[in-house]
Homo-oligomer: A and B are copies of this chain.
């Protein structure tokens, strides 16, 4: 068992839950006869990043977590998505990427040094990066995406966000 691997694998599970939420959003759009593209520009306030950016950043957050904690360079993406289908494909691609990792790749995850541009020459240990920065950042954008759809009238609840739980008898 490698807990760093498990935390990152849970990001894939959360993104799968988000896929199911997006499917409910599509049904909602079909019922009300509008294009799901209309979701992409949703904001809670005019100076917020829109729904599309929530998908972009949450997928990046998961990929950066997996890459940096396993000592790899994250894949470069062109960030040229335009349509609802494009953003769904971006989400599916991030899930596939996360699920390509194996627990043993995270053997040195706690100690690896992570230095993003925004850290201005400083670094965080992989441990701190995941717990203090990347996991909260990932959740921030997933829940904001959820809340934007929730405000838009899509019939979802916390159960959709949490998904199936690994209960044991």
Contact = CB atoms under 8 A, between A and B. Distances in A.
A144 interface: yes
Contacts of A158: 137, 140
A145 to B, nearest CB: 10
A161 B162 CA distance: 21
B140 A161 contact: yes
Interface string A154-169: 0000100110011111
A109 B108 CA distance: 22
Given A131-B6, A131-B7, A166 B44 contact: no
B45 A168 contact: no
Given A127-B3, A127-B6, A168-B125, A143 B135 contact: no
A31 interface: no
A28 interface: no
Interface residues of A, number: 41
Interface stretch (A33-41, A62-70, A86-94, A116-124): A116-124
A16 to B, nearest CB: 12
Interface string A133-153: 101110110011011001101
Interface of A: 1, 3, 6-7, 10, 13-14, 44-45, 48, 110, 119, 122-125, 127-128, 131-133, 135-137, 139-140, 143-144, 146-147, 150-151, 153, 158, 161-162, 165-169
